[in-house]
Amino acid sequence: MSNIMNNNGRTNNKVNNQKSKDYSISFYSSLEQNINFIKNEFSLSEDITIHKLALKGINGAVISLDNMINKDILAFGILKPLYNYHFCNTPDKAINDIEFKILYTDDITEIFNFEQLFTFIMSGFAVIAVDGSSKMLSIGIQGYKTRGISEPESDVIQRGSKEGFVEPLRTNMTLLRRRIKNTDLKFEIMTIGTLSNTEICLCYFQETVSQEILSELKRRISQIDLETVLAAGYIVPYLEDKGKKTLFSCVGITERPDTLCGKLTEGRIGILIDGVPTALIVPYIFAEYFQTLDDYSNRPYFASFTRILKFFAFLISVFLPGLYTSLGTFNPEMFPTLTLNKIAVSIADTPLSLMAETILILLVYEIMRESGLRMPQPLGYAVSIVGGLVIGDTAINAGLIGAPTLMVVAISAICSYIIPNLYAPTAILRIAFTVVGGLTGIWGMAILSSVVFIDLCSKTSFGIPYTSPVTPFADSVFRDVLLRADWKILSKRKEKIQNMPGSELYEE
């Protein structure tokens, strides 16, 4: 049977019904009345297809949306058997014959109202109606075009699978099931969006997940009041703990099914969204931004080295421009003598102050980055070349910007790409620390650093401390946070996310 609706014809865990119209009314006994109702609702829509059938003994119709179904299966798997069968019973008996005797498919569901009909046909199903019957049959013959499975562009690894999530929800569910052949892996489908009726799927291990966190997640999803859901970012604010908004998100995101499978074994819950090639992960902690699947494929000593390198790169990307500006403005004596001479000459030869110069280059870099992302790929390469030649070389030779400042910004920008999922908060913090450092010096940066750190420590994700297991401290920090232990150690002490120290479900 279809996993969109159950045998009683009710949508599984349906959260939001359409508010503008009530389609929960039952079918009419007259086929013509049903067809007129459907045509009226789909008026001015050219994609609705209603194929009337004059069968042997009854009249019927097949209802579908153009280009959403496989027309070959419709012709040879549905229409041909129907035309070859002789119906000599009541309409309800004819429907039962179609379901159990004529069609050779297990993806058949009985439906009883127009809401179910519209949901099915807009999901790529064909619906069979018989004159005189108060129920219809939906048949899964989806045939819409989809993108093939390929390697994620923003989450590339050296060792491991080259498969990434795609747009169809059930394809993504299959990618998870292929990797974890265990009946404890559960999929729960819900619907959000009063207009789009977007399907989402909760993925979790029955024996591993915290039932309190799962119940809280379902409650938050049930309170999502959106008309359309076109991207994962639409629902992220609804999943975060209230009253604890920061630059850092407590909802993880990944394009890799193997990464999500690893998180599910730790008690996390994955959220797949139909039409979105990414998955959300809750709960999510800060240390996981610095973990990749390659860490667990390489030798422990090299994985630990790269992980420490990521932490240093994050600190450099956030603090380096601000530290350079504050020391150059208020404490130049802290630079080595040779470096100070170079910086002093650079500042003297440029018309702007050190803080203004640094902020200007940061803003120009962000403009170049956005233009390179939004423009077609060949033009994006041209933007990079123009930026490197004009802004880099020409601006320095013209005396508009200093070479040390440009180098500091470039190093900071490169370091920020090591943790791509943290780029957004890193970019904002980098500018904030530059402004604070240029106006108040090193002490202002220290105060702002304390504010950011306290804010991180106070944040929770479904009751899980965001900075665990560093604060509150746990010995697992030496196994899979700053360092990565050998698999012989990791496999013996598999921790669940709900067992983190200080964890307590957040009560709103």
The answer to whether residue 111 sits within a structural domain is yes
Helices 442-458/300-330 angle, 10° precision = 140
- Domain range for 357: 300-458
- Kindly state the helix (H) or strand (E) to which residue 494 belongs, with its residue range: none
Separation CA 355–CA 343 (nearest Å) = 13
For residue 183, pLDDT over 80 is answered with yes
The answer to whether residue 491 sits within a structural domain is no
Q: What is the mean pLDDT of residues 198-226?
A: 93
Q: 134-150 as b/e, with b when 16 or more CB fall inside 10 Å?
A: ebbbbbbbbbeeeeebe
The answer to whether residue 508 sits within a structural domain is no
Helices 423-440/403-416 angle, 10° precision = 150
pLDDT in tens, 362-398: 998 888 888 777 777 666 666 666 666 666 777 777 7
Residue 19 has what pLDDT? 43
The answer to whether residue 311 sits within a structural domain is yes
| Residue type (1 letter), 495 | E
The answer to whether residue 499 sits within a structural domain is no
From the CB of residue 246, how many other CB atoms can be counted at a distance below 10 Å? 14
DSSP label at residue 198: E
Instruction: Name the more confident of 160 and 84.
Output: 84
Separation CA 10–CA 21 (nearest Å) = 18
Alpha helices in 375-469 (DSSP H): 377-386, 395-397, 403-416, 423-440, 442-458
Residue 388 has what pLDDT? 66
Separation CA 127–CA 135 (nearest Å) = 10
For residue 487, pLDDT over 90 is answered with no
Separation CA 242–CA 486 (nearest Å) = 38
pLDDT in tens, 268-279: 999 999 999 999
Instruction: Name the more confident of 491 and 52.
Output: 52
For residue 302, pLDDT over 70 is answered with yes
The answer to whether residue 437 sits within a structural domain is yes
| Domain shared by 233 and 366, yes or no | no
Q: What is the mean pLDDT of residues 46-62?
A: 89
| Domain shared by 318 and 371, yes or no | yes
Are residues 276 and 172 in contact, defined by beta-carbon separation less than 8 angstroms?
no
Select from 140, 155, 189 the last residue of a domain. 140
Q: What is the mean pLDDT of residues 7-26?
A: 52
Give the whole-number percent of the chain exceeding pLDDT 70: 90
Of 305, 314, 326, 265, nearest to 448 by C-alpha is 326
| Domain shared by 291 and 355, yes or no | no
Helices 31-41/114-121 angle, 10° precision = 60
pLDDT in tens, 59-80: 999 999 988 888 888 888 889 9
Of 180, 413, 461, 162, nearest to 293 by C-alpha is 162
Could you tell me where the beta strands, DSSP code E, fall in 112-268? 125-130, 136-140, 185-192, 198-205, 252-254
Residue 502 has what pLDDT? 67
Of 454, 435, 211, nearest to 321 by C-alpha is 435
Lowest mean pLDDT among 159-163, 228-232, 280-284, 409-413: 159-163
For 368, the 3-state DSSP assignment is helix
Are residues 468 and 288 in contact, defined by beta-carbon separation less than 8 angstroms?
no
| Domain shared by 94 and 185, yes or no | no
Q: What is the mean pLDDT of residues 123-138?
A: 91
Separation CA 337–CA 74 (nearest Å) = 81
| Domain shared by 107 and 236, yes or no | no
Could you tell me where the beta strands, DSSP code E, fall in 38-168? 48-54, 59-65, 108-111, 125-130, 136-140
Separation CA 155–CA 397 (nearest Å) = 38
| Domain shared by 308 and 454, yes or no | yes
What is the longest distance spanned by two Cα atoms in the chain? 101
* Angle (nearest 5°) at CA 275 between 272 and 281: 20
| Domain shared by 45 and 125, yes or no | yes
| Domain shared by 236 and 272, yes or no | yes
pLDDT in tens, 287-300: 999 988 888 888 88
For residue 434, pLDDT over 90 is answered with yes
The answer to whether residue 2 sits within a structural domain is no
For residue 493, pLDDT over 70 is answered with no
DSSP label at residue 484: B
Q: What is the mean pLDDT of residues 166-195?
A: 92
| Domain shared by 398 and 429, yes or no | yes
Residue 15 has what pLDDT? 41
* Residue 449 structure tokens: 């650093």
CA 101 to chain centre: 42
User: Which residues are within 8 A (CB) of 279 and not within 5 positions of it... i.e. 6 or more apart?
Assistant: 165, 172, 203, 232, 253, 254, 255, 257, 260, 270, 271, 272
For 288, the 3-state DSSP assignment is helix
Residue 173's alpha-carbon distances to 109, 188, 500, in angstroms, are 20, 11, 28
Residues in the chain: 508
* Residue 421 structure tokens: 């999922």
The answer to whether residue 87 sits within a structural domain is yes
Select from 256, 279, 296 the last residue of a domain. 296
Select from 267, 296, 325 the last residue of a domain. 296
- Mean pLDDT of all residues in the chain? 85
| Domain shared by 38 and 71, yes or no | yes
For residue 4, pLDDT over 70 is answered with no
| pLDDT bucket at 222, cuts 50 / 70 / 90 | very high
Alpha helices in 150-234 (DSSP H): 169-179, 211-222
Q: What is the mean pLDDT of residues 35-51?
A: 89
| Domain shared by 344 and 289, yes or no | no
Question: Cis ω on the peptide bond leading into residue 465 (within 30° of 0)?
Answer: no
Residue 12 has what pLDDT? 43
CA 321 to chain centre: 31
Residue 449's alpha-carbon distances to 143, 245, 430, 446, in angstroms, are 54, 17, 11, 5
Number of domains in the chain: 3
Lowest mean pLDDT among 25-34, 344-353, 438-447: 344-353
pTM of the model: 0.84
For residue 431, pLDDT over 90 is answered with yes
| Domain shared by 379 and 273, yes or no | no
